């Protein structure tokens, strides 16, 4: 019985030892993916910022400038691309719009961002665009890949419609999580005006501003705190600057369109950190805990099998020794099948007592 149990434990140990690496190197890259139907809203704020008043073309101080970013997964477009190419993709419809002190929208920029659901590589399909302009992205945007590495990445900037390196700056501790810190600098670059302009200003359109010789210039320094397991930013910040410049005016000072230090609002930081911690556990279970745990459990089961086999052999040895001793204490049978009688041992003759005569061997006693 113990041998059957030992073989079962050995087989189970071999199965777990083989299943662990299979989960890590085959299933994990195929199972872990960004959901196609994700929906998320993030609110950012810039305190004591400057925002343009297009009616007077002057920069006006604002106590708070709010930027709302919405992200909605287009699962129907992703499913259509899956049927067409067999590839798992995510199609994000995003919208970033700026609100002033009075809550009125100053500008908005929509995007269609398409990427591989597993690797985060950009995919060029499904109406990929920024503010209605078709684009061909290189690099990542919004989210870093699963299993983010401590190295530089190409990060896409929607204002300039180009990618630039975002540099790895080291490890930070953020709310009990070990995260990677990244930083990207976009130098002053001329960028197009948003197609959606503030309402209430007569004749204000991107074409009308460009016709007056005005140009929009932009620079930013963006930083991210990224969970390397999920690739999700748990915090982000931008030192954002935009200007109206007048090249034909000759020395005329630029007008600030927007200037401020943009940060994620604290309540959204709390919800983002809680969500990332939850997802982090699920990803770690598939990438680390189960793949490495199964071989460890297999080694323990293999040790139990050896111990069980060793104890069984010792038990069999003791049983064999006891059987041999019992057989040796029983007399051999005779030819008739009966028990052979063992004659009693012969007693030695008693020594003669003192005073008794002893006759020499071979002589008669003489009277």
pLDDT tens-digit readout, 256-266: 999 999 999 99
Does residue 247 contact residue 215 with C-beta atoms inside 8 Å?
A: yes
Question: Cβ neighbours of residue 94 under 8 Å, at least 6 residues apart?
Answer: 69, 70, 71, 72, 110, 111, 112, 113, 142
Lowest mean pLDDT among 92-106, 140-154, 265-279, 308-322: 308-322
Burial class (CB in 10 A: 0-12, 13-18, 19+), 344: exposed
The reported pLDDT for the residue numbered 351 is: 44
* Confidence band for 306, pLDDT divided at 50, 70 and 90: confident
Q: Among 82-86, 290-294, 327-331, which is the least confidently predicted range? A: 327-331
Residue 151 Rama label (left phi>0; alpha psi -120 to 50; beta): beta
DSSP state of 207: H
Report the distance separating Cα 288 and Cα 43, nearest Å.
33
Residue 275 pLDDT > 70, yes or no? yes
**Strands 105-116 vs 129-130: parallel, antiparallel or unpaired:** antiparallel
Give the model's pLDDT for residue 335.
47
Question: Among 16-30, 61-75, 311-325, which is the least confidently predicted range?
Answer: 311-325
Instruction: Point out the least confidently predicted range of 24-33, 320-329, 339-348.
Output: 339-348
Rounded to the nearest integer, the mean pLDDT of the chain is: 83
For the range 122-129, what are the long-range contacts, defined as Cβ-Cβ under 8 Å and sequence gap of 24 or more?
122/156, 123/81, 123/87, 123/89, 125/81, 125/89, 126/74, 126/77, 126/78, 126/80, 126/81, 126/89, 126/91, 127/77
Q: What is the 3-state secondary structure (H, E, C) of 258-297?
A: EEEEEEECHHHHHHHHHHHHHHHHHHHHHHHHHHHHHHHH
Instruction: Report the alpha-carbon distance of residue 265 to residue 337 in Å, rounded.
Output: 103
Task: Enter the tokens of residue 338.
Answer: 């009966």
pLDDT at 320 over 80: no
pLDDT at 221 over 60: yes
Cα–Cα distances in Å, from 221 out to 64, 145, 224?
A: 19, 21, 10
- What's the CA gap between 201 and 199, in Å, rounded? 6
Smallest Cα–Cα separation from 6: which of 319, 295, 294, 302? 302
Among the ranges given (93-107, 113-127, 133-147, 352-366), the one the predictor scored with the smallest mean pLDDT: 352-366
pLDDT at 353: 39
Q: How many CB atoms lie within 10 A of CB 213?
A: 11
Per-residue tokens: 48: 């004591």
pLDDT at 39 over 80: yes
Residue from 106, 301, 98 nearest 199 by CA: 106
Q: Which residue has the higher pLDDT, 366 or 172?
A: 172
Phi first, then psi, for residue 293 (nearest 5°) are -70, -40
Q: To which residue do tokens 């925002």 refer?
A: 51
Give residue 293's pLDDT band: very low, low, confident or very high (50, 70, 90).
confident
The least confident of 73-82, 173-182, 291-300 is 291-300
Cβ neighbours of 227 (radius 10 Å)? 23
Task: Give mean pLDDT, residues 357-362.
Answer: 40
pTM of the model: 0.78
Sequence-distant (6+) residues with CB within 8 A of 140 are 115, 120, 122, 153, 154, 155, 156
Give the model confidence (pLDDT) of 176-218 as tens digits.
999 999 999 999 999 999 988 886 677 788 888 888 888 999 9
pLDDT computed for residue 292 by the predictor: 79
Alpha helices of the chain — where are they, by DSSP H? 2-22, 28-31, 75-85, 206-211, 266-284, 290-328
CA–CA distance, 223 with 235 (Å, rounded to integer): 8
Report the C-alpha gap between 220 and 303 in whole angstroms. Answer: 59
Between 45 and 202, residue with greater pLDDT: 45
pLDDT tens per residue, range 144-168: 999 999 999 999 999 999 999 999 9
Mean pLDDT of 332-349: 51
Q: Which residue has the higher pLDDT, 73 or 349?
A: 73
Which pLDDT tens digit goes with each residue over 6-31? 777 777 878 777 777 777 777 777 88
């Amino acid at each position: 019985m113990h041998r059957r149990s030992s073989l079962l434990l050995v087989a189970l140990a071999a199965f777990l030892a083989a299943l662990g690496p299979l989960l890590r190197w085959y299933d994990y890259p195929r199972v872990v993916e960004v959901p196609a139907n994700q929906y998320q809203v993030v609110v950012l704020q810039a305190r004591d910022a400057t925002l343009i008043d297009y009616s007077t073309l002057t920069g006006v101080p604002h106590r708070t400038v709010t930027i709302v970013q919405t992200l909605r997964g287009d699962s129907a477009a992703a499913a259509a691309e899956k049927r067409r190419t067999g590839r798992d993709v995510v199609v994000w419809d995003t919208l970033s719009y700026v609100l002033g002190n009075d809550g009125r929208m100053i500008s908005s920029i929509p995007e269609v961002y398409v990427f591989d659901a597993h690797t985060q590589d950009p995919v060029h399909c499904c109406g990929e665009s920024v503010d209605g302009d078709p684009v061909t992205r290189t690099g990542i945007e919004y989210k870093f890949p699963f299993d983010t590495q401590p190295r530089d990445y190409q990060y896409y900037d929607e204002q300039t419609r180009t990618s630039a390196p975002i540099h790895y700056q080291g490890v930070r501790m953020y709310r009990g999580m070990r995260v990677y810190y990244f930083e990207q600098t976009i130098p002053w670059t001329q960028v197009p005006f948003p197609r959606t302009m503030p309402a209430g200003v007569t004749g204000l359109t991107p074409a009308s501003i460009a016709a007056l010789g005005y140009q929009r210039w932009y620079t930013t320094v963006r930083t991210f705190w990224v969970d390397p397991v999920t690739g999700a930013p748990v915090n982000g910040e931008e030192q954002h600057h935009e200007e109206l410049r007048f090249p034909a005016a000759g020395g005329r000072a630029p007008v600030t369109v927007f200037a401020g230090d943009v940060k994620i609002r604290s309540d959204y930081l709390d919800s983002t950190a809680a969500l990332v911690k939850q997802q982090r556990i699920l990803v770690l279970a598939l990438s680390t805990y189960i793949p490495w745990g199964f071989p460890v459990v297999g080694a323990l089961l293999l040790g139990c099998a050896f111990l069980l086999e060793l104890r069984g052999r010792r038990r069999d040895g003791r049983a064999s020794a006891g059987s041999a001793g019992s057989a040796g204490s029983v007399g051999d049978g005779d030819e008739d099948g009966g028990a052979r009688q063992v004659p009693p041992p012969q007693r030695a003759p008693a020594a003669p007592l003192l005073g008794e005569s002893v006759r020499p061997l071979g002589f008669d006693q003489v009277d």
